[in-house]
């Protein structure tokens, strides 16, 4: 079968190639790939900056935002042929650490977790893949190809849960949520926040086009420019850019008792940034800065419930391009108008 593989750590090694059928040790459920979403992590892996091949192998099958159709459910009673499914990405570390021991692999303490398509387990960019039944999430078949958005939605399900958990340390009635960045994660954050009934604001660099349209279609308010120029102090900021100056401005702008949830991974930042000044503000306003990554099964369940309720037309506009596997290189290049690009392996 065809698969998109890469030699982690070596830039320019990604290729579409013939590989053996998936190993039965990878799980008793056999799935035919429909589509796989592309994200910044995939680009980093292809650029040789991140990623690990399975032990004893030199190449890794790429892809962690999956959608497929069950070909053979194996002995699992809960699945049947034709079910639309998405594969959970992370596996608990083998030690296990206390959090992995209780199913919170997203909170892994020792970093020895593994991840499909990223860290030591093959991903989903192959015509067929296998998976353990306990790591399969069924998706509403009426979502069609939109089920490929489940994985990024889980990241938001966890982040919003973290915000609520932190907020509830005191009396907590958030009125305004600001999302910084209107990429796929930011837009899904705005969607998730809009379900809670709070006033949602989204800020991004672009001034016109699809991003502002999608924000307004949610009933949210769109802003371009600086966080510092906003005419209000948000109760919650979900930071999805990973850009140093946006993070710095968010910490300045958050309201008293507010929570800044960081979901973006970037580098560098603002030089001459006075850390104690920032800390003093956080102290005097009881602010919390919380980082959030990955998702456990509870978040996968919550995300699948949220997606099933979402407006299909709105969700469909998030997928701005579908590429064939042989054009994976184009899929990895983000165009100015791209939000989510998917590689489509089979018709829905």
- Judged by the rule CB under 5 A, the positions of this chain that interact with Zn ion are 93, 97, 100, 108
CB-CB contact of 304 with 139 (8 Å): yes
Rounded Cα distance between 341 and 332, Å, is 8
Q: How far is the CB of 154 from Zn ion (least distance, A)?
A: 18
Q: CB-wise, 95 or 265, nearer to Zn ion?
A: 95
Q: How far is the CB of 13 from Zn ion (least distance, A)?
A: 29
Question: DSSP letters of 152-166?
Answer: HHHHHHHHHHHHHHH
Rounded Cα distance between 310 and 306, Å, is 6
Q: CB-wise, 110 or 252, nearer to Zn ion?
A: 110
Q: CB-wise, 103 or 225, nearer to Zn ion?
A: 103
Q: CB-wise, 135 or 222, nearer to Zn ion?
A: 135
Q: State the sign of the Cα–Cα–Cα–Cα dihedral 149, 154, 159, 164.
A: positive
Q: How far is the CB of 123 from Zn ion (least distance, A)?
A: 20
DSSP-derived secondary structure letter, 214: H
Rounded Cα distance between 82 and 348, Å, is 11
SS3 at position 299: helix
Q: Which residues contact 235 (CB under 8 A, 6 or more apart)?
A: 174, 175, 176, 177, 198, 255, 257, 258, 259
Q: CB-wise, 7 or 93, nearer to Zn ion?
A: 93
Does 96 sit behind a cis peptide bond, omega within 30 degrees of 0 on the bond before it? yes
Rounded Cα distance between 30 and 176, Å, is 44
Q: How far is the CB of 103 from Zn ion (least distance, A)?
A: 11
CB-CB contact of 263 with 240 (8 Å): yes
Supply angle C-alpha 65, 67, 71, rounded to 5: 140
Q: CB-wise, 97 or 145, nearer to Zn ion?
A: 97
Q: How far is the CB of 311 from Zn ion (least distance, A)?
A: 37
Q: CB-wise, 13 or 112, nearer to Zn ion?
A: 112
Question: Locate tokens 């009673």: which residue?
Answer: 77
Q: How far is the CB of 209 from Zn ion (least distance, A)?
A: 41
SS3 at position 231: coil
Q: How far is the CB of 112 from Zn ion (least distance, A)?
A: 6
Rounded Cα distance between 161 and 304, Å, is 15
Q: CB-wise, 55 or 197, nearer to Zn ion?
A: 55
Q: How far is the CB of 102 from Zn ion (least distance, A)?
A: 10
Q: How far is the CB of 97 from Zn ion (least distance, A)?
A: 3
Task: List 319's β-bridge partners, or say none.
Answer: 340
Q: CB-wise, 76 or 294, nearer to Zn ion?
A: 294
């Amino acid at each position: 079968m065809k698969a998109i593989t890469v030699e982690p750590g070596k830039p320019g090694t990604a290729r579409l190639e013939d590989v053996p059928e998936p190993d039965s040790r990878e799980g008793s459920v056999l799935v035919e790939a429909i589509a796989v979403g592309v994200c910044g992590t995939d680009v980093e892996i292809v650029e040789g900056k991140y990623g690990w091949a399975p032990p004893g192998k030199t190449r890794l099958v790429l892809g962690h935002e999956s959608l497929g159709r069950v070909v053979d459910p194996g002995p699992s009673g809960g699945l049947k042929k034709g079910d639309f499914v998405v594969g959970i990405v992370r596996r608990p570390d083998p030690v296990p650490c206390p959090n992995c021991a209780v199913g919170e692999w997203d909170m892994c303490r020792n970093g020895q977790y593994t991840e499909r398509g990223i860290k030591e387990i093959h991903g989903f960019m192959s015509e067929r893949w296998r998976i353990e039944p306990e790591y399969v999430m069924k998706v509403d078949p009426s979502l069609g190809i939109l089920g490929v958005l489940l994985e990024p939605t889980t990241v938001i399900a966890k982040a919003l849960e973290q915000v609520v958990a932190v907020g509830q340390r005191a009396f907590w009635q958030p009125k305004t949520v600001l999302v910084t960045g209107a990429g796929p994660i930011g837009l899904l954050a705005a969607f998730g926040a809009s379900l809670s009934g709070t006033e949602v604001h989204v800020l991004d660099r672009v001034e016109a086009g699809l991003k502002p349209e999608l924000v307004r279609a949610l009933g949210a308010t769109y802003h371009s420019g600086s966080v510092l120029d906003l005419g209000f102090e948000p109760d919650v900021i979900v930071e999805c850019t990973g850009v140093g100056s946006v993070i710095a401005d968010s910490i300045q702008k958050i309201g008293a008792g507010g929570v800044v949830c960081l979901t973006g991974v970037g580098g560098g930042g603002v030089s001459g940034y006075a850390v104690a000044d920032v800390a003093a503000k956080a102290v005097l306003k009881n602010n919390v800065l919380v980082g959030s990554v990955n998702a456990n099964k509870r978040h996968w369940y919550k995300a699948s419930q949220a997606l099933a309720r979402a407006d299909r037309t709105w969700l469909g506009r998030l997928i701005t391009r579908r590429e064939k596997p042989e054009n994976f290189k184009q899929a990895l290049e983000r165009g100015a108008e791209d939000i989510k690009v998917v590689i489509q392996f089979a018709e829905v």
